[in-house]
């Protein structure tokens, strides 16, 4: 019995150690709470509508960067997390959601990098925090609706 308990304890410790987070883990990553109103101003200041479509924020006076704008907000089957939105701004080549292939082809350079301009050298951390606070509530989680089929009978 003691051998079984010892063996189980060793296995449990091994499993727990193998589930630990590595240096690239987002564990512990957190930014302060942002200001939605200031985030809206950041969205307008950096003219995000030149590349992105967000309901209620159309601006026909801007020169559009792409024929098809990249949609922001709306319904999604999964939650757009704070970390995903931060990543999409500071590292736009990192994919966090499947996209329409026809849109994606227009947004990717031949080397696989994103055509989105980098704002890392011009946007402050506070502006990033506020922008993400503004964008996150624009996403609504709508679970996938499954079709319920009746049982098939073998003839």
Percent residues over pLDDT 70 in the chain:
68
The number of beta carbons lying within 10 Å of the beta carbon of residue 37 is 10
pLDDT band at 2 (very low <50, low <70, confident <90, very high): low
* Four-CA torsion 11, 12, 14, 17, nearest 10 degrees: 180
Q: Per-residue pLDDT for 17 more than 70?
A: no
73: pLDDT strictly greater than 80: yes
- Say yes or no to pLDDT of 147 above 80: no
Task: Please write the tens of the pLDDT for every residue from 50-72.
Answer: 888 999 998 888 888 777 888 88
Dump pLDDT digits (tens) for 18-28: 555 677 666 77
In the prediction, which pLDDT does 92 show? Answer: 79
pLDDT at 85: 85
Tell me the per-residue pLDDT of 95-122, one tens digit each, with 9 for 90 and over.
644 555 555 666 667 776 677 788 889 9
């Amino acid at each position: 019995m003691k051998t079984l308990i010892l063996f189980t304890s060793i296995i449990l410790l091994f499993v727990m150690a193998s589930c630990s987070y590595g240096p690239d883990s987002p564990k512990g990553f957190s930014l302060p709470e942002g200001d939605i109103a200031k985030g809206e101003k950041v969205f307008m200041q950096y003219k995000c509508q030149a590349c992105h479509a967000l309901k209620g924020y159309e601006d026909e006076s801007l020169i559009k960067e792409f024929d098809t704008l990249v949609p922001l907000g709306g319904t999604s089957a999964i939650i757009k997390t704070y970390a995903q939105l931060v990543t999409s701004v500071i590292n736009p080549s990192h994919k966090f959601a499947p996209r329409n292939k026809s849109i994606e082809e227009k947004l990717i350079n031949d080397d696989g990098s994103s055509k989105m301009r980098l704002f890392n050298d011009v946007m402050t951390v506070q502006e990033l925090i506020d922008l993400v606070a503004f964008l996150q509530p624009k996403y609504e989680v709508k679970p996938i609706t499954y079709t319920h089929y009746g049982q098939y009978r073998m003839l």
